Chains A and B, each alone.
Chain A
Amino acid sequence: MCLAIPGEIVEVAPDRPLATVDIGGVRRAVDTGLLDGPPLAAGDWVLIHVGFALSRIDEDEARATLALLEGLGDAYDDEIDAFRESRIG
């Protein structure tokens, strides 16, 4: 639950603060209502925490963080499993 995981935006909902993100091949909707600034677009990276995009990050940062998280083993796997079960949207 403490982990914030980077995800790549694959699609942005036109009418609601929602985006589909890809985390390690798993695609789910997340809420983007906490982000300010220019509109998100496919290919952008965000840091996701419990179903919400918490901040924008660049791709290098995202890949470095993902590699770190994947090294955590169980904690990361549990988070991805929970993310897979999510039904936001």
Chain B
Amino acid sequence: MRHVDEYRDAAKARSLAASIAALCEPGRRYTFMEVCGGHTHTIYKHGIEDYLPEAVSLVHGPGCPVCVIPMGRVDDAIDIASRPDVIMTTFGDMMRVPGGRGSFLDAKAAGADIRMVYSPLDALGIAERNPSRRVVFMGIGFETTAPSTAMTVLRAASAGVANFSVFCNHVTILPAIKAILDSPDLRLDGFIGPGHVSAVIGCRPYGFITRDYGKPLVVAGFEPLDILQSIHMLLTQLAEGRCEVENQYGRVVPWDGNAKALQAINRTMEPRPYFEWRGLGFISHSALRMKDASFDAERLFDIPGSRVADPRSCQCGEVLKGVLKPYECKVFGTACTPETPIGTCMVSSEGACAAYYNFGRFTRERVKEATR
């Protein structure tokens, strides 16, 4: 386990933390956003913030796909799932996400045939074994997941499976980052870029963030030392007056991404003119839809196109934009917990609220003590 020690070594973490502190200009504050839910998880689990000097703070971005699904899309999915000839298939994370009229779990209890799958290929398998039913796969996820849905659709097409379709909610990361950069209430000094999304899209597409917005971005791995090193790389850029896209996670992320995965997406999906994100509102060209109508559940089932306002008590929007820390939300840990989530950020284990709830209680209490 030589490598594990290398990524976890507390002495190395302390020495990195010391160089991070040394890079901070006296009197200046630095705010970096980690875009990816996986990073949020690592940061809370390993207490990365405790290693950072006070001048550096981390805010949590919209990089959890479950968290950004608006309630209306859940209602539309349940509308499809409730038809007697339909088998709805979905990843486990989606089961408890609340729509305006309950979750998949509630709909299943009420008799809808909703099945959890590990992979869209499992959903295709269900379609092949149930030729008299219409099998719909609830496609969610960023560019990490979209290629798998795309490849599954290509496989369905070549195998001539006619009873399989996708309710496509795949979202794309770049327009979300742009929306955050355009948001007037947020000041950021740079981004910790998502590791596995970048394994697909590569590093090149982030160029507009450095070029047009003057913010550096470092694509990061998921080990605690990866995150610390990425913060170090961001601060080094700022100290040297550079603003570039850098790749800390080169051992997994090729600079140009995965051509086959991008090709599969482009063959089967196209950008939507606009898509609603939970808490962030409508963002143009921020999601994908199926190119081929015969695989598009949205067109096959003529969905109602529900729109549901988020519950007033829920501040997921502010949490997703990094304006609020999870514990600053009015219902965090009281009315909203992983067992009884009001907002999506509490549902998925990658959500900032769930990560904070599970790993951050001690810190939260300490913050409360300190501010009392």
Contacts and interface: CB of A to CB of B under 8 A. Distances in A.
B200 A54 contact: yes
Contacts of A86: 117-119, 121-122
B260 A2 contact: no
B258 A68 contact: no
A86 B89 CA distance: 13
A51 B141 CA distance: 14
B252 interface: yes
Interface in A33-68: 33-36, 47, 49-52, 54-55, 57-58, 60-61, 63-65, 67-68
A63 B350 contact: no
B148 interface: yes
Contact of B92 (A1, A55, A64, A71): A1
Interface stretch (B2-10, B71-79, B183-191): B2-10
Nearest to A49: B144
B252 A47 contact: yes
A63 B140 CA distance: 28
Contacts of B350: 2, 75
A31 B199 CA distance: 17
Contacts of B222: 65, 68
B260 A34 contact: yes
A88 B152 CA distance: 11
Contacts of A68: 7, 42, 222-223
Given A47-B196, A88-B119, 14 more contacts: A2-B37, A34-B151, A50-B91, A50-B141, A50-B145, A51-B122, A51-B148, A52-B119, A55-B258, A61-B251, A65-B223, A72-B41, A86-B122, A87-B122
B91 A72 contact: no
Contacts of B121: 31, 51-52, 86, 88
B296 to A, nearest CB: 20
Contacts of A54: 144, 147, 196, 199-200, 258, 261
A85 interface: yes
Interface of A: 1-4, 31, 33-36, 47, 49-52, 54-55, 57-58, 60-61, 63-65, 67-68, 71-72, 74-75, 78, 82-83, 85-88
Contacts of A78: 92, 349
Interface in B251-269: 251-252, 254, 258-261, 264
A34 B199 CA distance: 11
Contact of A75 (B6, B41, B140, B252): B41
Contact of A74 (B196, B200, B251, B349): B349
Nearest to A58: B251
B118 A50 contact: yes
A57 B54 CA distance: 36
Contacts of A47: 196, 199, 252
Contact of A51 (B65, B116, B120, B259): B120
30 contacts: A2-B37, A2-B348, A4-B144, A4-B196, A31-B151, A34-B148, A34-B260, A36-B260, A49-B144, A50-B118, A50-B141, A51-B118, A51-B120, A52-B119, A54-B258, A55-B252, A55-B258, A63-B3, A63-B4, A64-B6, A65-B223, A71-B45, A75-B350, A82-B118, A85-B116, A86-B118, A87-B122, A87-B125, A88-B119, A88-B122
Cβ-closest 4 pairs across A and B: A51-B119, A60-B3, A82-B118, A75-B349
Given A35-B260, A61-B252, A75-B349, A49 B196 contact: yes
Interface in B83-121: 91-94, 116-121
Contacts of A2: 37-38, 64-65, 93, 141, 144, 348, 350
B66 interface: yes
B252 A57 contact: yes
A68 B150 CA distance: 29
Contacts of A35: 260
